[in-house]
Each structure stands twice: as C-alpha cells, then as structure tokens.
Amino acid sequence: MPGTALMRQTWEVPWLGSPGPTGCSRTVAELWDDDMRCITLKIICDAVRSRVPKKVRGTGESMEASVHDAMRSALRRVKADTQLPVVFSGDYTGKTLTLNRFIGMRTDGLRNLSVESGAGLGGRCAVTGRPLVVTDYTSSDNISREYVNNVRLEGLRGMLAVPVVVNKVVRAVLYGAVREATNFGDSVRGALLTSAKELGDELRVREEVARRAEQAEFMRADLKAEMAGTDRETLRLLHSELRAIAAQIPDPELRERLTRAGSALVAVGQQDAPAPASTTKPTLLQVPTLAPREIDVLSQVALGCTNAEIASQLALSAETVKAYLRSAATKLGTRTRMESVTRARLLGYLP
C-alpha cells in the first residue's frame, strides 16, 4: 500500500531525514538558504550595537505583534490546506514550549500550557528539531505521559508536530490534530512542513528588517555628530547591503522598509560630509533620475567591488551590470566608474 512506510507510529519517521550537526534533521535544515550577506551585515551591526541609544531600541512590542500576526496567518493557511479540524502552535524559548494559538479547540485544556523540552509530542519535536507524528496520542508509547489528560480533555488522538526553525534555531512548533486515531497522508504532512518552512523564512526576514531598521535609526541618532573615516565606510557598506538585500525580497512592504532605511543612511552621510572645496551642488533642473538598479550597482562600486562581484551580490549577469553602469554614466555625464560614484554622492543617491 503506497505511503504505508510513512505512517509508522515511531520517532524515526522516514520522511524526516537523519539528524544534522545542529540538532535539526538535514531535511529541515535544507529548507532555507542562509544568506551570507546577512551574516556579514550582522558582524558590522553587532560591532556598534553596544553604542545604540535606548531611545531607538523600542522595537520589541511591535516585533512581538508582527510575529504573532505571522503565526496566526500560518495557522489559517495550515487549516485551509489540510482541512484538519484542529491546528495550533506554541512559542519555544529553548526551555519550554508555550501553547498559545489555536483554531478548532472546544476546551481550554491546552490553552497556555507550558510544555517542558523533550516532554510530550511538541516538547520532543522542539528539542530534536524534527517533525514528529503519533497515530493516537492517548495510547502512544513513544511520548512521555505528562500531558495526556490535557489532550484527552480536548478529545484529540492523531497528532503531528513540526518545528518552525529560524536561522537553525527552533522558535515555535506547529501542530495538526484530529479526534480519532489516524495515519496522516503525505499531503497533510507535506502541507504542514511547507507551512513551517515558509513561516520560518518569514520570521527570519521580519527580524532582519527590524534589526536593520534599528541600526539605521542608530546611525542617524548616534553617529550624526561624529561621521568620519571608518564610520563613513561602515555607513556605505550598510547602505549597499540594505539595497542588495531589499532588491531580493519579494514582499513589497518589507522591500520598501529596507529601501527607506538605506535612504536614511544617505541623509546622515550628506549632513555630516565635508563640503567639496570647489564643487557646487547642481540645481534641481540638473539632477538626473537614476533607476533603483543603477543605484544598487553604484553602491557596490563605491565599496570597490568588481563587476563580477557586483553581479554575484545582486544576482545579475556581468553584462547586465555593465549595462547599468553605462546607463548611469550617461545620465550623470561621467566617464569612469568612480566619477559616477562621486557625482551620485553629490546628488544624494549615495552616502
């Protein structure tokens, strides 16, 4: 019978893959792509983190609300995609898993329940980083028994649990459940796994956006009066990273927030830059309009990147990079790469 091997009531579920070095299964770990540019930017941002004024650190509440909204949306998608009668989730702190979002529940038996790491189905899922399944929670020998009464009160029996992983750390668990003993088919398992992967990706992007926005505020608030030398180069690197990452984010709202953060850095650089000795800033009639991709390319040139490096950073071909440089040079009336960068800075396109 097709799929029979996938329906065994056991921790070694074949569709999971073997555990990887991070404690997550390789199958789960491969579901997202670690963006090395984010790691580079993190090193830069963390280097100045200790100087962030308290007044620009107040993103906690809004970030928490953002995560809550993302989790609720994920549950609604799981419910629609699987048609399971009950779906719910819990946030994992590394020690406990708190069940706090539900669709389809009839009682409060599981509401706000704190599940210890390794305990029950969800606790085991969180600590191992592996999707798990039982055909009958109330009689299973594969899970600890601490929460059987809570589950029995709700009348749940067949249950799946899938970890939500952000940057290789389990942050939450998504559950699907039914009120009879059952083997879950591949389509249900796949839908839950896909939703968990998409949610992990979304949370990673939201957190990166919030962190970069905070760092942009920091730059504007704290470095305004002391911009020089190394600080200015750090500002330019942050600006180019923001634009490069923004260009690859499909969500238009998040992309716009990153672009605005980059523009804020440009404003800081203009306010604090020394005035050129013999150059007058052009009037509005002389200011050409550069396309977003032309600015992206010039921001990489400003860091000393080659065309090949720019192409790799922005996911473009080398010929496309050259075309953008030629177009920008024509608009700016310049002859060399660095002349284009200098004029773009003068016009306020680059920090």
**What is the per-residue pLDDT across 7-32, written as a single tens digit (0 to 9) for each?**
333 333 333 333 333 333 333 333 33
Together in a domain, 228 and 326: yes
pLDDT in tens, 218-248: 556 555 545 555 466 677 777 777 877 877 7
Q: Structural domain of residue 326, as residue ranges?
A: 223-346
**pLDDT tens track for 258-293:** 777 777 776 665 554 544 444 444 444 457 889 989
Alpha carbons 111 and 46: distance in angstroms, whole number: 37
Of 170, 204, 238, the residue at which a domain comes to its end is: 204
What's this model's pTM, rounded to 2 decimal places?
0.50
Is 139 among the domain residues? Answer: yes
- Return the pLDDT at 213: 74
Residue 32 lies in a domain: yes
State how far the Cα of 122 lies from the Cα of 160, in Å rounded to an integer: 9
Distance CA 140, CA 147 (A): 12
Residue with the bigger pLDDT between 313 and 148: it is: 148
Residue 188 within any structural domain of the chain: yes
Question: Quick one: 306 and 177 in the same domain?
Answer: no
pLDDT at position 243? 79
Q: At what angle do helices 337-346 and 292-301 cross, to 10 degrees?
A: 110
Q: Is the pLDDT of residue 160 over 90?
A: yes
169 and 227 fall within a common domain: no
pLDDT score for 314: 86
Are residues 126 and 236 located together in one domain of the fold?
no
**Do 71 and 196 belong to one domain?**
yes
Last residue of a domain, one of 169, 204, 239: 204
Q: List, as one string, the DSSP characters of 150-218.
A: HHHHHT--SEEEEEEEETTEEEEEEEEE-SS--PPPHHHHHHHHHHHHHHHHHHHHHHHHHHHHHHHHH
Whole-number pLDDT of residue 24: 37
Kindly state the DSSP code that residue 110 receives in the 8-state scheme: S
Where helices occur in the chain by DSSP H, the ranges are: 26-29, 36-47, 60-82, 120-128, 148-154, 186-222, 229-246, 252-272, 292-301, 307-314, 318-332, 337-346
254 and 189 within one domain: no
CATH classification at residue 237 = 1.10.10.10
- Please indicate, yes or no, whether residues 198 and 248 belong to a single structural domain of this protein: no
Same domain membership, residue 249 and residue 194: no
Give the model's pLDDT for residue 245: 81
Q: What is the pLDDT of residue 144?
A: 93
CATH of the domain at 101: 3.30.450.40
Q: Are residues 13 and 135 in the same domain?
A: yes
> Which pLDDT band holds residue 172 (cuts at 50, 70, 90)?
very high
**Do 172 and 232 sit in the same domain of this protein?**
no
Return the closest-CA partner of residue 114 out of 144, 168, 150, 77: 150
Residue 40 has pLDDT above 80, yes or no: no
pLDDT at residue 66 is higher than 60: yes
Provide the number of structural domains found in the chain: 2
| Segment 171-175 mean pLDDT | 96
Average pLDDT of 39-49? 42
Same domain, 127 and 165: yes
pLDDT in tens, 105-151: 999 999 999 999 999 999 999 999 999 999 999 999 999 999 999 99
The verdict on 153 and 273 lying in the same domain is no
- Percent pLDDT > 90 in the chain is 42
